Amino acid sequence: MPEPFTLYKLIVLYMLQKVDFPLTNSQISEFVLERGYTSYFTLQSVLSELSESGMIRQETIRNSSYFTITEAGEETLHYFKNRISQPIREDVDLYLRENGMKLRDEVSILADYYKNTSDEYTVHCVVKEKYSNPIELTVTVPDETQADAICRNWKQKCQGIYEFVMKELL
């Protein structure tokens, strides 16, 4: 049995390896904390150490942290996966099967904005998959109200925008 802190790291790596999209801090926390594997503060230390060691990649968008597994994390998990008990792996697998679509929808369609050097707002919208972004759009608008509206509408309209662009360009 590995020491608990190591086990928590392996659980996080296993979760990230089983999905083809990033997971947020809150999504990982929800799983780990609801099952009582560890405390919130220990989990945050685990995520921080995994990120610092290059086993996971962290990206922050609109005050949310998104995590993906790196090649180093995949390799580590390959060698130490058997240290995660079968019941824990089954628990993760079941959770991801039951919640996968909801988790994917929450993290794969993103939009954020910032004030640029021209005193306008640059809005960056993206649909993410594990190793690619099928569509990425950056637009500049004159005010923050418009930037915020684009971010709010992106989730509902990205599919139609993608279809329109593909139809027009092909």
What is the residue-level pLDDT of the chain in tens, covering all 170 positions?
458 889 999 999 999 999 988 899 999 999 999 999 999 999 999 999 999 999 999 988 777 888 999 999 999 999 999 999 999 999 999 999 999 888 887 878 889 999 999 999 999 999 877 678 889 999 999 999 999 999 999 988 998 999 999 999 99
Residue 160 to residue 126: CA distance in whole angstroms: 13
| β-strand pairing of 121-127 with 109-115 | antiparallel
Task: Please give the single-letter amino acid code of residue 6.
Answer: T
Beta strands of 79-148 (E only): which ranges?
Answer: 109-115, 121-127, 135-141
Q: What domains can be seen in the chain, in order of their start residue? A: 4-106 (1.10.10.10), 108-169 (no CATH)
